[in-house]
Structure 1
Amino acid sequence: MDSGSITWVLISALLVWIMSPGLALFYAGLGGPKNRLHTIGTSLILMGVASIIWFLLGYTLAFGGGNDWLGNLKFWGLNQISFSHSTRGLTIPDGLFAIFQGMFPIITVIIIIGSVIGRVRLRALIVFISLWLLVVYSPLAHMVWDNGFLAKLGAIDFAGGTVVHISSGVTGLVLAYLVGPRRDQSYEKIYSPYIFVGGFLLWFGWFGFNAGSALAANDQAILALMNTWLASAAALLPGAWMSYRLRGHLLLADLVTAGLSGLVVITPAAGFVHPWAAIVMGAIAGVVGIYSITLIKRHFGYDDTLDAFGIHGIGGTLGAILTGVFADRSLGNAGGLVNGHWELLGQQLIAIVITLLLVVVGTVLLAGITRFLVGPLRVSEDDEAIGLDLRLHL
């Protein structure tokens, strides 16, 4: 075991953890005052739910070996997990690996609620998320990060482009369709300080999210941190230009969204591409991110309340594709189009399709099971009208 790597991954785990309250604040700013406390409170509840499910079954289903699709129950309740040595060939112990990986499902489920916050009953949301972590997230993490089907296919995902961002964004979109649009979609004045503070915490934590995924204090962690920094920075000016071009003025929310879009797009590629490629990817993401939450959303007419799909679903898909373009064999085991190889791009596209199938089918089925267990997903018309802050949190 390496003490430097242990220290770095411990710090990275805490950085990923702080992204969850950061996202709660960001969502609270975007969502307006009548569901602000509800947004933050729901995020806190789901932090607890996701943590316990990861401890009981999530980790073993994701990283318990098993077959190409799902882990076994060998490590249920983190049974037989060592805190002093690694069975995975790492320089950090298995216990720390479980801690770090356990931060990812927390942020993933909080991303989901951004699509439907304020119109889904809290009880239904807790049941759905609990099932989703076991049926969708854990199998997907296993297939990508535990030498499962997608890993054997040749697809790569450094820190969660498919596992975290595509899965959460698409789940949010499907839920938004199943629940139906808000009855009142009038735009409220955005409380900008929440957006900035929440966005800053997300941005800060993302360095641990990506660089910590090297799982060691090494050159790949340095590369991932640099690429995370450059991609997010490169997204800002193109995103600002796109925002001004579409709206005729510049919103702080759009600036933060552009930066987050750069962070999302570099996530699957952070340890696999050169810094110049991170800049290109970020610049593309800045434009696509703003386009996604405005024109695309308007054209298709879906009510993704806080743009979880626009930022994470579309951004994660774009990142997975561009990883197939810019991944350099000199930095990892796979080379993309920059090395003259088409195979990785094809493998990435197949992985995206499989992820979409799992997420869409899983979400529809689990939403039906949730209705059967606890009743309707949607809050009453009166509760939605007055806001869930007054109904649940005051």
Structure 2
Amino acid sequence: MDKIVVADNVWILVSTAFVLLMSVPALALFYGGLTKVKSILNTIMMVMVAFGIVSLVWIVYGYSLVFAPDIGGFIGNLQYFFLNSIKPSDAAPAAPNLYHYLFIFFQMTFAAIATALMAGAFVERMKFGAWMLISLLWSTIVYFPVAHWIWGGGWLGDIGVLDFAGGIVIHETSGLAALVGAIILGKRKEPIMLPSSLPLVAIGTGLLWFGWFGFNGGSALAMNAQAVSAALVTTLAAIVGGIVWMVLEWIKFKKPTSLGLFTGIIAGLATITPASGFVDVFGGIVIGVAAAVVCFWAVVYLKNRFKYDDSLDVFGVHGVGGMLGAILLGIFAKEDIGGANGLMYGGGAGLLGKELLALLVVGIYTIILSYVIFKIVDKTIGLRVSRDDEIEGLDEAIHGEKAYIKEH
């Protein structure tokens, strides 16, 4: 009997397009608008080139390392190298209701955006070639193994760790790697950075939010009640995160800014991601509040306390948000939503303990391997542009272009 479900495939194909939109152009515009005018094109290119490199690597061997039968629970084998032996009409082993190619395509966009997210921590001072090499190495050495552990039949998934759409697999790994890289790279020569275009940030925020319907809703891997619930709680967390962040900023700095609203929305989206398919409306709202409060603290206080230059707050918003969401999943998960009860609904501390274990293991692995990758690249081709290039701006220094040209 044919297991392929047409409606599910339509929804996941649309979701795939949504997640692709999150990087190209949403994340590129969001990051670009936050960057100085003289490096905006470089920032956009960093996002887009990372997306392209990781997508190609995914097809060659990434999918196989994540979803092929594994070696000791750690990493998949090379059964699907270059998608060997897979026919377009085959059903996906991990999702028999979907065409295999579609499942591969959907997961490709997740791998690509996980790497692209890091770029925001390094803008205005990293060599473009170094970033391309890091994109290749980091996706291979960090993202693929972690994704296999939780989503591909690896050991963390086997013990019951849950991560609906990537709070641990994507946001924790990219956030921690961004922090490690930013510390190794060092501070910018011109650390005060006013956004080049808040309207671009607004457009990027809206497109990211739109794309998150595919990111979280599509992670149900079917057109079902869980997908709809995930999309709804995602939107609620974004709304609440944005409003609460704006109010916190209003209280501390005496003005409610558009940038604060936009940042709170993204924090809410990142934090609900691991829990979106497991929590109800109440859980989504609580997670939105927690996202704003904790990520605001990370961006405003923690960053200032330790003086690291995470340019666009990748760690403070995505890293902290993703880890917080995984913890709150262990508390607010509800069985009639996603099949598991968290601490609040009588499930005991078992699920929370598994989430904490995963956060610890993935965190240590990510920090150590990311440090090694950045150090190797720094010692070989170098991480940082020259002082003159940094002051001139990377658009002209590296790419020979300007974002905006005045007519004479």
TM-score range, shorter chain: over 0.9
The alignment status of 1:301 with 2:304, answered yes or no, reads no
Would you say the 8 A contact 1:179–1:378 is kept in 2? Answer: yes
Match of 1:376, SS state, is coil
State the alpha-carbon separation in 2 of the partners of residues 242 and 137 from structure 1. 34
Task: State the 1:371 CA deviation.
Answer: 3.1
Would you say the 8 A contact 2:67–2:153 is kept in 1? Answer: no
The alignment status of 1:75 with 2:80, answered yes or no, reads yes
Q: Which residue of structure 2 lines up, in the alignment, with residue 19 of structure 1?
A: 22
Within-5 A mapping of 1:80-159? 80-86=85-91, 87-159=93-165
Q: Which residue of structure 2 lines up, in the alignment, with residue 42 of structure 1?
A: 46
Task: State the 1:169 CA deviation.
Answer: 0.7
Q: Which residue of structure 2 lines up, in the alignment, with residue 275 of structure 1?
A: 281
State the alpha-carbon separation in 2 of the partners of residues 148 and 33 from structure 1. 44
Q: Percent identity?
A: 38
Would you say the 8 A contact 1:160–1:268 is kept in 2? Answer: yes
Task: State the 1:191 CA deviation.
Answer: 1.6
The alignment status of 1:8 with 2:11, answered yes or no, reads yes
Out of 51, 56, 60, the residue aligned to residue 56 of structure 1 is: 60
Q: Which residue of structure 2 lines up, in the alignment, with residue 33 of structure 1?
A: 37
Q: Which residue of structure 2 lines up, in the alignment, with residue 320 of structure 1?
A: 326
Out of 256, 267, 271, the residue aligned to residue 261 of structure 1 is: 267
Would you say the 8 A contact 1:60–1:72 is kept in 2? Answer: yes
Out of 160, 177, 181, the residue aligned to residue 175 of structure 1 is: 181
Match of 2:12, SS state, is helix
Q: What does the per-residue CA deviation read over 1:231-283, in whole Å, with 9 as the maximum and x for residues that have no partner? A: 11121221111111222212211111101111111100111111111011111
Would you say the 8 A contact 1:15–1:208 is kept in 2? Answer: yes
Distance 1:97 1:89, change over 3 A: closer
State the alpha-carbon separation in 2 of the partners of residues 336 and 188 from structure 1. 42
Match of 1:91, SS state, is strand
Out of 359, 362, 376, the residue aligned to residue 355 of structure 1 is: 362
Within-5 A mapping of 1:166-245? 166-245=172-251
Letter in 2 for 1:364: Y
State the alpha-carbon separation in 2 of the partners of residues 301 and 91 from structure 1. 49
More displaced stretch, 3-12 vs 329-338: 329-338
Task: State the 1:378 CA deviation.
Answer: 0.9
The alignment status of 1:65 with 2:63, answered yes or no, reads no
Would you say the 8 A contact 1:242–1:291 is kept in 2? Answer: no
Match of 2:98, SS state, is coil
Q: Which residue of structure 2 lines up, in the alignment, with residue 337 of structure 1?
A: 343
Letter in 1 for 2:231: L
Backbone CA RMSD of aligned residues: 1.2
Would you say the 8 A contact 2:47–2:117 is kept in 1? Answer: no
State the alpha-carbon separation in 1 of the partners of residues 195 and 264 from structure 2. 20
- Which runs of 5 or more residues in structure 1 are unaligned? none
Q: What does the per-residue CA deviation read over 1:166-222, in whole Å, with 9 as the maximum and x for residues that have no partner? A: 111110000001111112212325421111011111110001100000011111111
State the alpha-carbon separation in 2 of the partners of residues 325 and 93 from structure 1. 34
Q: Which residue of structure 1 lines up, in the alignment, with residue 377 of structure 2?
A: 370
State the alpha-carbon separation in 1 of the partners of residues 48 and 277 from structure 2. 31
Match of 2:135, SS state, is helix
More displaced stretch, 30-39 vs 79-88: 79-88
More displaced stretch, 265-274 vs 86-95: 86-95
Would you say the 8 A contact 1:293–1:307 is kept in 2? Answer: yes
Q: What does the per-residue CA deviation read over 1:98-140, in whole Å, with 9 as the maximum and x for residues that have no partner? A: 0000001221111101001121111111111101111100001
Distance 1:237 1:371, change over 3 A: closer
State the alpha-carbon separation in 2 of the partners of residues 72 and 276 from structure 1. 41
Would you say the 8 A contact 1:167–1:355 is kept in 2? Answer: yes
State the alpha-carbon separation in 1 of the partners of residues 59 and 247 from structure 2. 44
Would you say the 8 A contact 1:257–1:289 is kept in 2? Answer: no
Q: TM-score, length-normalised on structure 1?
A: 0.97
Within-5 A mapping of 1:379-394? 379-393=385-399, 394=401
Task: State the 1:32 CA deviation.
Answer: 1.7
Would you say the 8 A contact 2:33–2:195 is kept in 1? Answer: no
Distance 1:298 1:94, change over 3 A: same
Would you say the 8 A contact 2:63–2:108 is kept in 1? Answer: yes
Letter in 2 for 1:162: I
State the alpha-carbon separation in 1 of the partners of residues 375 and 45 from structure 2. 25
State the alpha-carbon separation in 2 of the partners of residues 190 and 42 from structure 1. 17
Q: What does the per-residue CA deviation read over 1:153-175, in whole Å, with 9 as the maximum and x for residues that have no partner? A: 22100000011101111100000
Match of 1:114, SS state, is helix
State the alpha-carbon separation in 2 of the partners of residues 371 and 236 from structure 1. 37
More displaced stretch, 54-63 vs 245-254: 245-254
State the alpha-carbon separation in 2 of the partners of residues 200 and 358 from structure 1. 33
